[in-house]
Chain A
Amino acid sequence: MKTWFPSVGLSLLTLLTMAMSCESTKEVKDSFIEIVPEATFGGTIEGFNNPNPINGSTDVLISELKFYLSKIRAVASDDREYALVDYCFFDFRNPDFEKYRVKLPEGVNIKGLRVNVGLDSTQNYSDPASFNQAHPLSAARGMYWTWATQYRFLLIEGKANQTSLIGSSTDQGISYHPGGNHLYVEDVFLPLNLGVGNGSTRTVMLKLDVNQWFNGISGTIDPLTESNVHAAPEDQALGKRFIENFSASMRLQ
């Protein structure tokens, strides 16, 4: 004779336990930030595709702006760090890469983000053909140096000229494409009091001050005479100054 009674009792107990645990679980909504980069001149004036002065005698116009950030971490008020995302890509001309949404850690009081500029050596070693076309590391992003099998970290193009002359035949094309593991900039702290996530998505502007690219923490760059950074060995010193200036030009708002 089968004894079914104990198993029914066990099932009822299980159901009761599940019901109790459901009742005691609070629904927690995830919190996000949406990082939206914005190029400015001096922090306010629109800096993409507009000619603006970078010093008393030179104007620049930025027409192409793409870059990688990696190892993005939330920094808590107690200085603990929480990894948010391995890497993200921004492209001012591609609506698919104009912003990046990232989930925040639960219940953490966040005082800012810490980021690296560029890709770490593992990410930089990726095979761009192995990703689908929409992927940040795909060859379709136009950031891969095929001959060196690594990525450009920044791709900034445009033109420069003396004050008020942009658009004339004397324009100097500018093209800054620093990349390579040696130009990876680590641990840039971007303060912004995000507090504790409240279950919503907050938009955070990542301001890039174009003025500081040319007159920044690592020195002055004259776009009329120092107009190109590519992979050539002799470009590396300028590339380092440029990417350091770029990294220091970032602010969260």
Chain B
Amino acid sequence: MVSSCGKKKEEVITQLNEPLPPLVFPIDNPIWKEKVELGKALFFDRLLSRDSTISCSSCHFPQFAYSDTIPISKGAHGRIGFRNAPALFNLAWKPRLFKDGGVRNLELQVLAPLLEPNEMDFGSEELLNRLEKSDEYISLFSKAFDSLPTLKLAVQALASFERTLIYNESKFDRFLRNEVILLEEELIGMRLFYSPELACSSCHKGVLFTDFQYHDIGMPPSEDVGRYRVSLDSLDKFKFETPSLKAVSLSAPYMHDGSIKDLRAVVDWYNQAAEVRKTKDKRIRALNLNSSEKDALVAFLNCL
């Protein structure tokens, strides 16, 4: 049990099965059950959008690794967003948020869709007014924080809930724990994935299958300049964060703009020579896989 504001709060189990590393929570936002429950209620509540038409879960569906099934999600008033809604699994380990790394922690990330005109389009004052008028939320905030609703506490609760969205039971996770074996095709795909020739794992590395770095993989240029928007360094043009491949089979469509519809098409895309430009990562080159090798690679990706 942990203590907060004089009342005992129920601890959230943070001991995870391998291969994930231990969970570490921010000092200024420790986790407990009542806080997570409040965050979960907020996450699924349409009250958080100006016109009460969408909740966080309207673009982050639990059954799809908390991602969306369309390239670019619609926000309040039917407005179109900016990038493909990312999967929300295993955010607890991410050093920065957003595909360009513009946001430095989960608590600040939570604010972005709430205030963004093309997403929930909510002013912080309006949000608080709604929460303060809700008996249900007054009760949930009281249980979680012994406090009336505040923006800071709402943000902490949402971030705490998102930190509990952990995916660690894929076939590959269980394979690493010697609980299952991989099929022959999946093993071939695994060898390809980790081979120096393909070098997939040089960016999609470690147990979370990401290096948390930013790379230009040669997607067609667009108005979205990626990391350049944040760093203002032209060498960062069209660089986006390496996405984790955990639960990747659930989070189609793919790429920062959701422009590739399925995993096979992603492998096809990498299989041909991508656009050449100064900022493009040198490791991105035509894979020259044959059809059965592509199938094997997709089979392995489906295990993640």
Contact = CB atoms under 8 A, between A and B. Distances in A.
Contact of B111 (A133, A139, A231, A236): A139
B48 to A, nearest CB: 14
A2 interface: no
A189 to B, nearest CB: 29
A140 B102 contact: no
Contacts of A216: none
A129 interface: yes
Given A128-B111, A140-B125, A233 B102 contact: no
A146 interface: yes
Contact of A139 (B102, B151, B228, B230): B151
Given A133-B128, A139-B151, A146 B116 contact: yes
Contacts of A144: 111, 115
B234 A133 contact: no
Interface residues of A, number: 21
Contacts of B151: 129, 133, 139
Interface in B206-233: 225, 228-230, 232
B103 A233 contact: no
B78 interface: no
A193 interface: no
B104 interface: yes
Interface string B112-144: 101110000001110010000000000000000
B145 to A, nearest CB: 14
A129 B107 contact: yes
Nearest to A148: B102
Interface of A: 127-130, 132-133, 138-140, 142, 144, 146-149, 180, 182, 231-233, 236
Given A139-B115, A147-B103, 6 more contacts: A129-B152, A146-B111, A148-B229, A231-B229, A232-B229, A233-B228
